[in-house]
Amino acid sequence: MLNKEEITKAQQKAGRMIRNAGIKISDKKIKEIEIADFGLSDLSNEGGQIFTFVNTDRIGAKVIALFPNQTLPEHWHPPIANDPGKEEVIRLIDGGVRAYIPGKDNLNYGFIPKDKDECYSCRHELVMSEGDQIVLEPGIKHWFQAGTDGAVLYSFSTTVRDIRDSFTDPKIDRITKIKK
Ligand code: ZN
């Protein structure tokens, strides 16, 4: 759970990072940045800040800001009815990020969040530089971790149904709860 002050602080920080990446965002829109702590109440270690440009029944586009060394938890986008699941392109705009997908364990630059070994099964590390992008096919598990400067990423995808995403960590709740 996060309180309103923590949410506002995280929105302002993410807004500054997004602007530093050269992406225009109004003060009003900064207040709409989604702060996702995945119900873990440990935002600076595990979480993400998400600014949605558009989400229709068919396409989605957003910016994800990750704070320095912040990890976006391992998840996948499962099939729903006739839809095979979200297909997603992640492009690094600013900073540094590591992407983890199934494959040979070559984890070298990143780290598994403390005491979370069983929540991060993908250990195949792709170190991304600014301008790099990867395509994540539907259903493929993945997680991300920012470097010491944080990261600003574009996510272009088929329609986004975050609430239907599946996570390896059984403690995760996709909806951020705000303390009154
Ligand atoms: Zn994803």
CA of 154 to the centre of ligand 1 (A): 12
CA of 165 to the centre of ligand 1 (A): 8
CA of 76 to the centre of ligand 1 (A): 6
What is the Cα–Cα distance from 49 to 138, expressed in whole angstroms? Answer: 22
What is the Cα–Cα distance from 65 to 44, expressed in whole angstroms? Answer: 12
CA of 88 to the centre of ligand 1 (A): 7
Question: Strand, coil or helix: what is 119?
Answer: helix
What is the Cα–Cα distance from 161 to 29, expressed in whole angstroms? Answer: 21
What is the Cα–Cα distance from 85 to 161, expressed in whole angstroms? Answer: 9
Of the candidates 53, 75, 66, which has an alpha carbon nearest to the alpha carbon of residue 128? 66
CA of 32 to the centre of ligand 1 (A): 20
Output the six-digit token pair for 55: 């989400």
pLDDT tens digits, one per residue of 93-139: 999 999 999 999 999 999 999 999 999 999 999 999 999 999 999 99
CA of 2 to the centre of ligand 1 (A): 22
- Burial of residue 58 (number of CB atoms within 10 Å: 0-12, 13-18, 19+): exposed
CA of 97 to the centre of ligand 1 (A): 14
pLDDT tens digits, one per residue of 32-82: 999 999 999 999 999 999 999 999 989 999 999 999 999 999 999 988 888
What is the Cα–Cα distance from 171 to 10, expressed in whole angstroms? Answer: 22
Triad 24, 176, 178: Cα angle to 5°: 100
pLDDT band at 85; cut points 50, 70, 90: confident
What is the Cα–Cα distance from 100 to 127, expressed in whole angstroms? Answer: 9
What is the Cα–Cα distance from 123 to 144, expressed in whole angstroms? Answer: 11
What is the Cα–Cα distance from 120 to 40, expressed in whole angstroms? Answer: 15
